[in-house]
Structure 1
């Protein structure tokens, strides 16, 4: 049975990996006063802690919260980039965006630049981007955010952009049913011309395959479109697609993408823990780094992240990590033993 698509995780990976490319594509004016070389993404657990009261008991993780510096100023600001894959009531979503803004501003005491990326297929109605509180005699609040609604954007308008986010998100933009094969072919044509490493190319290819799957008839149209490309580009596309197929990725495209996302979250969780410990204790023993790298359970990593903030000493934290490592090792051994008995 094919697992459900974790839209939040997929889009968070895209937006985190290509954050500056996203800004260049949709809000280039921000980069006129921000220093792009000096930005950092806030740790997932920190953001979850900030937003947890708003989630009403649900496991809420904002997609991306980044810290940037103003050019020629010793001051910072935050960008909150919220990806929305389902059609909430407009009033409810606008309310949430304002409260996310308020919570971030309260937590960090920094200006916050809010952006909403609407990724759902329907409705096509333009989403409002303001939350207003007013009385008969005065307006108390007029909050607005940048709104980017993919199903109202035409994919053809992004063909000339040399931008990985553009070609990935083209798979979610407005297109006629008869254009699906052409859109996928154009995405791959653009992909092989970008100077990306193999891992990033594979992720974008997986993203496109997840959100723009083709039926048999469309696959034939896709192959025909490739035939009309210039020889050099066609060879690059076919080489990449063939390499993907040879590694068995195309058949399990969605599963492979999900596994890659999970592994990325694990590595990021480990890095967040070590980063907090470095801030608090400066020198982290190699033995402790090795122990943390052995933790592959996301829930355990979340627990350890909290402990990294509150622990009184590295010794106490090392002891806690050792217990989790021992428990994970024991569970793996028991699982392998059970498999052997079967």
Structure 2
């Protein structure tokens, strides 16, 4: 069982590395709005190792130190601490304080400490560390998210297109199905299949599938059945995805041809083209974009075509 807990760290670590921007948007939306995402953020893994050297509290695999820039042009470093243990730990808040103070002491930069708690204790919600001695008071308050809370808002997770929504779903169901492999299989199938309904592109689906598969381990016989079912499901959905990408490419081609022939396009026309769903209509519009005499004629054509489509 301890090995399974250890394995939780690496999927989280990789998910943050791949989807850091989405991670902040999902768990800390107020912070997301204050970060200047036009300036590349930087993971400071080597710096974090230096900070944590000889620390008996220990650095977990999912600990991250990230340098970001605020929208006001001020630099700040963000320490992201992910607690993946499934039990209360008395030294957690102390560790957050130690990390924060060491980073500030070495680099003299403001540090925001963020914690993700994945334990099963509803009442355990550490958010500060403090002590008083002889008139001196030390206090650190840090931002904390409890994954357990998302169980009460499952519909929001199902509806979200943020990559961390299915990751959180996978984590919670992995935690809830310990010792229940058949139930875990059913949830794993459900979560993976939902990736196809969230509007992700192929590379995003592959990456999320890999992370979820890594997290939701199954016994060998069930893993084989899972792989076969997902392969069948992918084959059924391949045609739909090919059609979706074909429509997207066709719309882009139509807009590009019209821009080459008639220079600037009205935004209403671009919007109208992007709203066309019928593949046959898109093929016809593509041909007309090449041969039609004027932009006004094309606008009239697409208006007429959409009117007929709506009447159908």
Task: Give the alignment's TM-score, normalised by structure 1.
Answer: 0.55
Point out the structure with max Rg over C-alpha: 2
String of CA shifts for 1:164-203, please: whole Å, max 9, x gaps: 11111211126576964553234223322443453x5333
Q: Is the 8 A contact 2:189 2:226 kept in 1?
A: no
Q: Does 1:143 align with 2:148?
A: no
Aligned position for 1:76:
75
Q: Residue 74 of structure 1: CA displacement? A: 2.7
1:187 to 183, 187, 191: 191
Partner of 2:31: 30
Task: Give the conservation status (yes or no) of the 8 Å contact 1:126–1:149.
Answer: no
Give the C-alpha shift of residue 14 in structure 1.
Answer: 0.8
- Alpha-carbon distance change, 190 to 109 in structure 1, aligned in 2, over 3 angstroms: farther
Q: Distance in 1 between matches of 2:137 and 2:238?
A: 55
SS in 1 for 2:41: strand
Structure 1 gap segments, 5+ residues each: 241-342
Task: Give yes or no for contact 1:133–1:140 (8 Å, CA) kept in 2.
Answer: yes
The equivalences for 1:202-221 within 5 A come to 202-214=206-218
Return the match for 2:132 from 119, 126, 134: 134
TM-aligned CA deviation for residue 93 of structure 1: 0.9
Report what 2:9 is aligned to.
8
Evaluate the alpha carbon distance shift between residue 24 and residue 186 of structure 1 in structure 2; reply closer, same or farther with a 3 A threshold. farther
Distance in structure 2 (CA, Å) of the matches to 1:134 and 1:36? 39
Equivalent residue number for residue 41 of structure 1: 42
Structure 1 distance, partners of 2:239, 2:91, is: 46
Q: What is the count of residue pairs matched by the alignment?
A: 229
CA drift at 1:25: 0.7
Cα distance in 1 for partners of 2:99, 2:59 equals 15
Distance 1:171 1:130 in 2: 29
Q: CA deviation at 1:151?
A: 3.4
Taking the aligned partners of 2:50 and 2:230, their CA distance within structure 1 comes to: 48
1:87-106 equivalent positions in 2, closer than 5 A = 87=86, 90-106=89-105
Q: Is the 8 A contact 2:69 2:75 kept in 1?
A: yes
Alpha-carbon separation, structure 2, partners of 1:238 and 1:207: 25
Tell me how far apart the structure 2 counterparts of residues 142 and 27 of structure 1 sit (CA, whole Å). Answer: 22
Distance 1:153 1:55 in 2: 32
**After TM superposition, where is structure 1 displaced by more than 6 Å over at least 4 residues in a row?**
176-179, 215-227, 237-240
Counterpart in 2 of 1:310? Answer: none
